[in-house]
């Protein structure tokens, strides 16, 4: 059975630590480790950004994270560890918004499982992002938790570049 750790991190009280993710997935039997760290960037679609705020339906998100990790285990085998943390609250430029780390016996499974998990989180979790711009305005990003029909039709791997918030 795989080992999973999933969290929603209230950034008012703590920050997401990528090193903790790597420590969690470390295992002497594993030779493959992959990590995705999503950080707040200074521009999105040509607009200068000062930060973002994430709102999360925590109970539903955690149930969804469990399902996402279980599906990864079904596809890539029981010998894997997955760490998944997503921020809730206001973040500045460069702050860590999400971390996915995967440890497996081999690199191919680690890369593919990491990709599968982050895509599923981005496109199916009840997490909403509001961008704050240098001109003082704010806008909610296009929601991807509503893209389930797209995922059913083409799969999560097919949508890595097609959405404005990617």
CATH of the domain at 131: 3.90.1170.40
User: Angle at CA 100, nearest 5°, toward 74 and 1?
Assistant: 35
Q: Which of 3-7, 78-82, 91-95, 150-154 has the highest mean pLDDT?
A: 91-95
Which 8-state DSSP code applies to residue 126?
A: S
The separation between CA 27 and the C-alpha centre of its own chain, rounded to angstroms, equals: 22
Per-residue pLDDT tens over the stretch 109-158: 999 999 999 999 999 999 999 999 999 999 998 765 545 544 444 444 44
Domain assignment present for 164: no
What is the pTM assigned to this prediction?
Answer: 0.84
Q: Domains in the chain: how many in total?
A: 1
166 found inside a domain = no
Range of the domain at 108: 3-159
**Burial (Cβ within 10 Å: 0-12, 13-18, ≥19) of residue 141:** middle
């Amino acid at each position: 059975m795989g080992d999973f750790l999933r969290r929603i991190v209230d950034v008012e009280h703590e920050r997401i630590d990528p090193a903790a993710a790597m420590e969690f997935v470390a295992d002497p039997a594993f030779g493959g480790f992959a990590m995705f760290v999503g950080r707040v960037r200074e521009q999105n679609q040509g607009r200068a950004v000062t930060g973002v705020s994430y709102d999360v339906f925590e109970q539903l998100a955690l149930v969804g994270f469990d399902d996402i990790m279980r599906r990864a285990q079904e596809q890539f085998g029981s010998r894997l560890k997955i760490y998944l943390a997503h921020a809730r609250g206001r973040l500045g430029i460069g702050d860590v918004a999400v971390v996915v780390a995967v440890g497996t016996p081999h690199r191919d499974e680690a890369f593919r499982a990491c990709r599968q998990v982050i895509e599923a989180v981005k496109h199916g979790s009840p997490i909403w992002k509001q961008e704050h711009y240098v001109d003082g305005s704010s806008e909610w990003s296009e929601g991807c938790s509503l893209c389930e029909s797209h995922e059913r039709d083409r799969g999560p791997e097919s949508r890595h570049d097609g959405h404005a918030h990617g």
